[in-house]
Amino acid sequence: MEKSPAVVFLLASALIISGCLSPGGAPAPASNGTNSTDGGNLTFFQLGTPDGWMLPGFRLAPAHAANGRAVILLHALGRDKSEWASFANSLAVGGYDVFAMDLRGHGDSGVNGTRRSYGSFDTADFQKMAGDAGGLAQFIRSNYKEEKISIVGASIGANAALNYAARDAQVGPVVLLSPGLDYRGVQTPNAMNNYSQSGRKALLVASGEDEYAAFSSRQLKETAGGNAELAILQGAGHGTEMLAGTNGRELSKKVIEWLGRN
């Protein structure tokens, strides 16, 4: 039997500044309540894994007009949950209950009380990231009323998102920003085949100059056929870089609208 994740919520006093989560990402001291903003109500949590990792994250619950849907955000290699700040706020404004965490080996994560960087990881360590996403999905289902969980991932976070979604028929749709056919041993071709055969939808986004991600996205689109939509941008960068700037705001809007249709 799969062990349930241990999760501790810290009621946050952090602020959202100019529509974005405050920087940093470390859990804030406990306070007497959540902070209400135009974007949503912000709390921090720690997700414990069966193999001893503690993965800090945040929940941004919609302040108004909740749509009953949750979105998990998985960051890129070498980044942390804070890279989703602006996009998380946009999702919450749109009614989504948003969850993001530091993947193992990133940000403020640690194992058995000790910080450990992904720089020492082997393939098996990276492959466990998909299971960490599953632990968060399990927690959301156990504690909240969202009827549907979607995952948005960037770079290796996209690969982890697809690998978890492929083995959990209740997850979907997924949005994959700059996915790869193989990032650090986290492979996607078989996962996309299994995921798309169930009829669930995927949105693939990459920038043309990001050649490996663009090539991988086209290959994954070919695997998924009509169950995937492909967007190839130009000069937009990698992962969440594509969500920055004027063009990034357009992409953010497109992603949120696409989630709403699927």
> What's the confidence (pLDDT) of residue 36?
52
Q: What whole-number distance in Å separates Cα of residue 157 and Cα of residue 178?
A: 9
Reading the chain (262 residues) residue by residue, the pLDDT tens digits are 444 555 554 443 333 322 333 333 333 323 334 555 567 899 999 999 999 999 999 999 999 878 999 999 999 999 999 999 999 999 999 999 999 999 999 999 999 999 999 999 999 999 999 999 999 999 999 988 777 999 999 999 999 999 999 999 999 899 999 999 999 999 999 999 999 999 999 999 999 999 999 999 999 999 999 999 999 999 999 999 999 988 899 999 999 999 999 9
95, 69 in Cβ contact below 8 A? yes
Instruction: Give the list of residues 6+ apart from residue 193 with CB closer than 8 angstroms, or none.
Output: 223
67, 148 in Cβ contact below 8 A? no
Secondary structure E strands in 49-112 = 53-62, 69-74, 97-101, 110-111
> What's the confidence (pLDDT) of residue 147?
73
> What's the confidence (pLDDT) of residue 35?
54
Instruction: Give the list of residues 6+ apart from residue 237 with CB closer than 8 angstroms, or none.
Output: 207, 210, 244
181, 217 in Cβ contact below 8 A? no
> What's the confidence (pLDDT) of residue 33?
41
Q: What whole-number distance in Å separates Cα of residue 160 and Cα of residue 101?
A: 13
> What's the confidence (pLDDT) of residue 226?
98
Count of CB atoms situated within 10 Å of the CB of 19: 13
Q: Can you give the pTM of this predicted structure?
A: 0.88
90: left (phi over 0), alpha (psi -120 to 50) or beta: alpha
Instruction: Give the list of residues 6+ apart from residue 214 with CB closer than 8 angstroms, or none.
Output: 206, 207, 208, 232
Q: Nearest to residue 133, comparing CAs of 97, 164, 155?
A: 164
Bond before 5 cis per omega within 30 degrees: no
> What's the confidence (pLDDT) of residue 66?
85
Contacts of 38-41 spanning 24+ positions with Cβ under 8 A: 38/63, 38/93, 39/63, 39/88, 39/89, 39/90, 39/92, 39/93, 40/89, 40/92, 40/93, 40/98
CA torsion 102→262→193→152, rounded to 10°? -10
> What's the confidence (pLDDT) of residue 146?
73
> What's the confidence (pLDDT) of residue 40?
87
Domains parsed from the chain with CATH numbers: 6-261 (3.40.50.1820)
233, 260 in Cβ contact below 8 A? no
DSSP string, 130-159: HHHHHHHHHHHHHH---SEEEEEEETHHHH
The H or E element containing residue 21 is strand 20-21
> What's the confidence (pLDDT) of residue 6?
57
Strand partners of residue 177:
154, 205
